[in-house]
Every structure is written in C-alpha cells, then in structure tokens.
Structure 1
Amino acid sequence: MTVTPLAFDGSGLDGGLYTAVTRAARDAPWLLNDTASAWSTLGLTAFAALMLAAWWRARRADAPVMARALAVPLVVALAYGVNVALKELVREDRPCRSLPGRFTLEACPAPGDWSFPSNHAAVAFAAAAALWVVDRVLAAGAVPAAVMMAASRVWVGAHYPHDVAAGALVGVALAAPLTVSAARGAPWVARARKGPLRALLLSSV
C-alpha cells in the first residue's frame, strides 16, 4: 500500500494572485509565453555563464576578489541545497495540485515535487547576490535576470508568488554574507597565483 505524505496547501496565502497571473498568461501573446517558458526552463544557464565571466574578470583583480569569484558556484550550490531541505520540511503542494483546473504553461510536476520555496528563484537570487559582491558590472545583468526568473516561474504556473519570494530570500540571505566572507581565501589565491594555477587565477595582460 502506498502512503501519500501529507502536504501543505499554500493556496490560501496568495492563490488569488497566482490565478490572476496564470489567467493573464492564458490570454497573453504566444511570443511572450514562449519566451517566458524558455527562460523559466533554460534561464539558469545564463547565471552559470555569468559566474564563469566573474572568474575570468577576477583574473585582473586582487586576491580577495578572485577568492570571492571562485566561491560563487559553491555558495550557489549551498543555497540550492538549503532550499531543497526546506522543500522537504514544508512539503507544500504545487499550485497545479491545490488549484486544479487553472491554466498553466508548464506541465504539473509529479506528486512529491514540492513547491515552497522555489529552487529556481533561490539559485537565481543566490547567483545575483554573490555576483553583486564580486562584480557590480555583471550583477547589473544578474539582478534583473533573477527577477525575471522568479516572475517566469509564477507566469508558467509552477509556483505561487510566495514560493518565489521565499526562494529569493533564501538565496540572498545565504549568498551575500558567504561571498563576503570568502575573501578569507585570499592568502591561498595569492600563493596559488605563483604556482601551476597561475594562468587560471591571474591575467597576463
């Protein structure tokens, strides 16, 4: 006999707002919906590219900046792990299960794929917050990209607004202080820049 775990119904928090957003998506032009769906699905790869760019640009910066740039992927991975743990703790059903019949651009995930907090929002905002500490030029693109990622997850029907807000909070709350503290790795970077890893950590021009 299969036992279905008890799940939290988050529709009472902002189910009305979620319904209004997905209704707007239903009536929106196909180009907007296709763009939102593509960003919702593939947009996290842009943050990976920005993290790579942060490392590349940090090769011309001092050791504390490079230490922080190298920490960004680890910080984002940690934020993701914490967010997944929170999902298992809260166990909030996806809105497509609590509010059946609503229009959604994205297929309803399987039971047990919990909604709160949003992993996509946590990763996007963790990356944006970490990049804000490391490189404000790159962060100028990462911050609006994170906002668009969070918005797209509601637009396609995958999350309630409070899911993405909580995911964003998790990402920022963890990434910002951890990235700042990563400057403690500067002595290691300074030593490594004199060794075999020099080409990866220090620009020759």
Structure 2
Amino acid sequence: MRVTDGWSAELYRDAVRATEGVPSWAGTALEASSPGLLLLLGLLLALTGWSGLRRRDAAALAGALLAVGGTLAAYALSEAVKVVVDEERPCRATGVTDTLGACPPPGDWSFTSNHTTLAFGLATGLVLLRPRLAALALPLALAEALSRVLLGAHYPHDVVAGAALGSGITAATVLLLLPPATALLRRRPATGRAEGASLRVDSPAA
C-alpha cells in the first residue's frame, strides 16, 4: 500500500522540508537519539521496579513487570499489523528521498511505528506507576515519535497509531492484571526475612 496524498502525506512532506539544510551530523545525532530515548525510558521503568523490590512494594514491582509485558505485547501486535497492512515507507512512496535518516529497505513496512509503540508503552507504564514522572516520560515518548517523522522513516499517522497501540495495551495490561499480580507476589516469601514474610502493598501512584 502506498500513501501519496492526504493530511498525513502532506505533514510528512512539510516535516522533511523543515529539515532541509540541516547538517549531516545533526541527522546522525537524531538517528542515535531514537534508540537512546527508548533506552532511557526502559531504564526509568527498570529503576521503578528495582525501587519496588528494595522497598518490598509488591504493587510497584508487579506494575513494572506488567508494564514491560504490556509494552512487548504492543510491539508484537505492531509487527503483526505491519505484515497485514504492507504500507510502503514514505521515503519511497512520496518520492521524497532527501531525508535526514536512511530509508529502511523494501519490505520493512511503515505502519505502525514500532519505535513509537515501544516509547509510549514504556511511558504509559511509568505514568501509571509514578505519575510524577509524567513530566519526563511523556515528552521523551513524544520526542521519539517526532524523530521518526523528521528522520523520514514514518508518516505522522504511523506514529499516532503506534502511540495509541503502545499506550492502550500497556494501560490495559497494568490496570487489569495489577491486583492479581500483586496478590501473587505477596504470597512469595521475601528474601532475607523470616519464612512467611511477604512484600507489602503500596499504591503504585505513591
């Protein structure tokens, strides 16, 4: 499938035009920032889970594990959608070839954006578990989405769909499974404590 007109294609062309004249090193830096942003979001979520483990907070630990699981599930679904939709990358479909980033090879489909799906999945988990991190997590996820368009790898509608997919599946996973997962962790003996001790339960939004 090729998308050559409509609001998304026009916004894509405008975004690529906005990067004209940008030095090549800036494009290299933007490409490097894409996995870097995902790594940062992943580290923040890992630290949240580690903090829950140290404080014997069953809800925080269970929430972090569920957020990772929900994000991976969203990524898997995004890959499945790519195979079904077969949307050509905009750097080939629109005829715009002068992009900041290298155009992915043929067969590497565009819809939806995997990077954006992962970013918003991780960010949603962080927001649900530690709302005070929203001011950091959400801008990082938005920066990831924007970078995919500016690099020329995705249409705007690709990243919008990825954001909805990552956020929706991760939120549903955490909110629906947090009570049983917390109860399961509470039943496990805590390391270094007397037999029968358990993780305490605190609100994940604390």
Distance 1:160 1:73 in 2: 26
1:115 to 86, 110, 116: 110
Question: Structure 2 vs 1, CA of residues 197 and 9 (structure 1 numbering), >3 Å: closer, same or farther?
Answer: farther
Structure 1 unaligned residues grouped into runs of 5+: 1-7
Q: Deviations over 1:22-81 (max 9, x none)?
A: 111123356654442221243211122112111122232632232111212111110100
Deviation string, structure 1 residues 66-124 (Cα, Å, up to 9, x no partner): 21112121111101001111111111000011022432111111111000010001110
Unaligned 5+ residue runs, structure 2? 201-206
- Counterparts in 2 of 1:202 and 1:36: CA distance versus 1, 3 Å: farther
Aligned to 2:73: 78
Q: How does 1:51-200 map to 2 (within 5 A)?
A: 51-59=45-53, 60=55, 62-183=57-178, 184-195=180-191
Q: What's the TM-score once normalised by structure 2's chain length?
A: 0.84
Let me know the Cα RMSD of the aligned residues.
Answer: 2.4
TM-score of the pair, normalised by structure 1? 0.85
Q: Give the aligned residue type for 2:49.
A: W
Q: Which residue of 1 aligns with 2:33?
A: 39
| Displacement over 6 Å in runs of 4+ | none
Contact residue 190 and residue 199 of structure 2 kept, 8 A: no
Tell me which amino acid in the other structure corresponds to 2:18: A
Identical-residue share of aligned pairs (%): 36
Q: Which residue of 2 aligns with 1:10?
A: 3
Q: What is the SS of the residue equivalent to 1:162?
A: helix
Residues 117-156 of structure 1, C-alpha deviations (whole Å, 9 max, x = no match) = 1000111001111111111233332111000000000001
Letter in 2 for 1:46: L
